[in-house]
Amino acid sequence: MSNDLKDKRVLVTAGASGIGRVTANEFLAAGARVFVCDIDAKALQAYQAEQPTAATMLADVADAAQVDRLFDAVSAKLGGLDFLVNNAGIAGPTANIEDCAPADWDRTLRVNLDAAFFCCRRALPLMKPNRFGAIVNMSSTAGKYGFARRAPYAAAKWAIIGFTKTLALEVGEYGIRANAICPGAVEGDRMDRVLKADSKATGRSIEELRAETVRDTALKTFVGPGDVAAMILYLCSDAGRRISGQAISVDAYTFAAGV
Ligand code: NAD
């Protein structure tokens, strides 16, 4: 790959762990200037110690006022922005719709959907004058299927795709691209938590649910965080310069989800 990501300015939200952390590291390895925010102070501190050249800031991206402060800091530190990775997302409750508390619904929508809006509305004025940029929003296979016991998560991840396609239409004439990524089941702490919650809700064993998750993919495998990061970098690189408005799965071809 050419080094077209070198010196580019990137904000990765929720970048202190999981997919965001691996993505931020890949951007750093490609020579980009990386800003990472996260809600978890301890994880963020550990990330800063591991990657002293990255800029970091504690921020809850589901809170518009905190996003305003975050973008003030990004502008001051990076002097602009080329790429925005709206990675923040929470699994939300594992419950049938009638058992889903309105507060849990609200929080899940806030982190998975509203946060991307809050960040885009601040990122676009930084990108438009350059007539260049790329935004990657994190959806999920849950944004392409129904997902039993995960209604707020699935609703938010479907909405992210509609938001991304609309965004792509609005910003294309400014040389800015917007795409969504739909990861399948990604190995890691979060997947362990999701399987545990599903086991509790269904009475099925974690081993059985894990085996079923793999069986429901064509490639018979979980996805790694690095697989998702590779797609994010591809979409931001010159290789992705004609790709916009897409919802791209990185899911080992998942053909059933969350039933
Ligand atoms: P994760 O649970 O490992 O969390 C990553 C980070 O998000 C954590 O450091 C956490 O502190 C931070 N975070 C949570 N809420 C935040 C907020 N409001 N503001 C700022 N930071 C916040 O998540 P992950 O598995 O790396 O997932 C990243 C994205 O990928 C999410 O949008 C998720 O929905 C999506 N996704 C994940 C999977 C999977 O299997 N892991 C599958 C499909 C989609």
DSSP symbol at 56? E
**Which residue minimizes the CA distance to atom 13 of ligand 1?**
14
Contacts for 42 with CB less than 8 Å, ≥ 6 apart: none
Nearest to 9 by CA among 71, 51, 61: 71
> How many Å lie between the centroid of ligand 1 and the Cα of residue 18?
7
3-state secondary structure of 132: coil
**Which ligand 1 atom lies nearest to the CA of residue 19?**
26
Asked if residue 213 lies in contact with residue 185, where contact means CB atoms within 8 angstroms, the answer is yes
Collect the ranges in the chain with pLDDT lower than 70: 1-2, 258-259
Asked if residue 149 lies in contact with residue 107, where contact means CB atoms within 8 angstroms, the answer is no
pLDDT at 257: 74
Q: Whole-model pTM above 0.95?
A: yes
**Which ligand 1 atom lies nearest to the CA of residue 111?**
18
- Render pLDDT for 119-161 as a digit per residue (tens, 0 to 9): 999 999 999 999 999 999 999 999 999 999 999 999 999 999 9
> How many Å lie between the centroid of ligand 1 and the Cα of residue 90?
5
> How many Å lie between the centroid of ligand 1 and the Cα of residue 111?
9
State the Cα angle at 252 between 197 and 231, rounded to 5°. 100
**Which ligand 1 atom lies nearest to the CA of residue 181?**
44
pLDDT at 256: 82
- Catalytic residue annotation: 153
